[in-house]
Amino acid sequence: MYKSNRQQFYSQIEQFWADLYDEEYALYDLYEVTEDEVEKIRLATERTGKIYFKIAHLLRNVPDEILLEMGYPEQTLHFLRLKILEAESVIARFDFIPYNDSYKCIEINADTPTFIKELFFVNERICHAFAMENPNAKMEQLLKDMVRKSVAQSKPSQKAHIVFTAHEQNIEDYYTTLYLMQFIPGAKFTPLHQLQIQNGVGLFDEDGKQIDVLYRQTFPIENVIQDEDEAQNPIGLWLLELVEQNLLIIINPPSAFLLQNKAVQAVIWGLHEESNVFFSAEEHEWISEYFLPTYLEENPFIEKGLHFVKKPVFGREGNTVEIYDKSGQLIKEDVQKSYNQYIKVYQQYIEQPKVTFQSEKGEQVGEMLIGSFLISGKPGAIGLRVGGMITNNLSYYLPIGIKRTI
């Protein structure tokens, strides 16, 4: 019954990936939340966002040596200091774990977050199917407004050529990009492999038309800089140089990559631990409530006898993440090690709450992680991933709803 109901429901949603890697991804189930919980998550998102946006101003002005110690690639240092848009990131997503009647931020994906169409579009429809209120009502309008505002701030003229791009073969990236592109009349899609670059001149689409604004929602900067063409020209670095030379504008902006680095959280925690006046007394309270101790070494946790997580400063979907016990013994690791080349941060480990849910494999119990979007500094849609101790790309999407009051 579950399987047929699920298939019938998701077959009605066009351009969506209810299954990923030949496995169930989007569940036909719903986790009930209260209005109070939703408001607390939104408040945590807004306050945590203010802390991150404030630290961006500081990081743009520190010496290169500090940025290198934090693990930023040397080729990006000039790019990192650019301030192009009003918001440091147009679409960012925090990952929160419920903790002591509040929420702890374990990281931000400020540069290329996914989970967008699920929360801003699909959740509304599944709430309707389950006769529940959608906690993300009106959030799609916020998303549309802020995406349009970011493009309007970016384009050099009314006739600007706006292109959205993604790996066409990756269904999640492709459909996420098409979903966002519908908000911008006149924009076009060009697959990543069809973009053409002329060093010091510009970026062009497959028809040879120069691109003014490139919306690259799912193409991370740490991947961009490694791009080479068949002649081994460093076309990724050329693209960053076009941005630096004001020959191309990209969204998310350079400042989103500045905040993507997980060592930023170690900087925030370090300033907090020393009661630095960079943060106000109120902001120190926010950091104490919403942030976890995070360092560039493991010693503080070994000394205090605390479990901790080791993760690369750039990395996604739990890849290369390791969990250690209080004596420093490895107890859990992700099998994928794609980001081992980056320096690591060490963060206090806290348990994720367990939740029971229905799936094609029957009733399951998984660990819950809250995704909460920050849209140009404003709290956006929220939702759940459920899976193992390390949330990875095989974790499920579990929709959320509020029980209707009559």
Supply the pLDDT for residue 388. Answer: 82
Supply the pLDDT for residue 353. Answer: 97
Supply the pLDDT for residue 338. Answer: 82
CA atoms of 98 and 44, how far apart (whole Å) = 11
Q: Is 190 helix (H, G, I), strand (E, B) or coil?
A: coil
Q: Is 392 helix (H, G, I), strand (E, B) or coil?
A: coil
Digit-coded pLDDT (tens) for 215-274 = 999 999 999 999 999 999 999 999 999 999 999 999 999 999 999 999 999 999 999 999
CA atoms of 339 and 316, how far apart (whole Å) = 9
**Range list of β-strands (E), 110-172:** 132-133, 162-164
- Residue scoring higher pLDDT (390 or 166): 166
Mean pLDDT taken over the chain: 96
Digit-coded pLDDT (tens) for 310-340 = 999 998 778 889 999 999 999 999 888 888 9
Q: Give the residue from 50, 258, 57, 246 showing the smallest Cα distance to 154.
A: 246
* CB-CB contact of 389 with 324 (8 Å): no
Q: What is the dihedral of CA 199, 202, 208, 209, to 10 degrees?
A: 180
Supply the pLDDT for residue 334. Answer: 84
Digit-coded pLDDT (tens) for 129-144 = 999 999 999 999 999 9
pLDDT over threshold 80, residue 392? no
Supply the pLDDT for residue 406. Answer: 58
Digit-coded pLDDT (tens) for 76-130 = 999 999 999 999 999 999 999 999 999 999 999 999 999 999 999 999 999 999 9
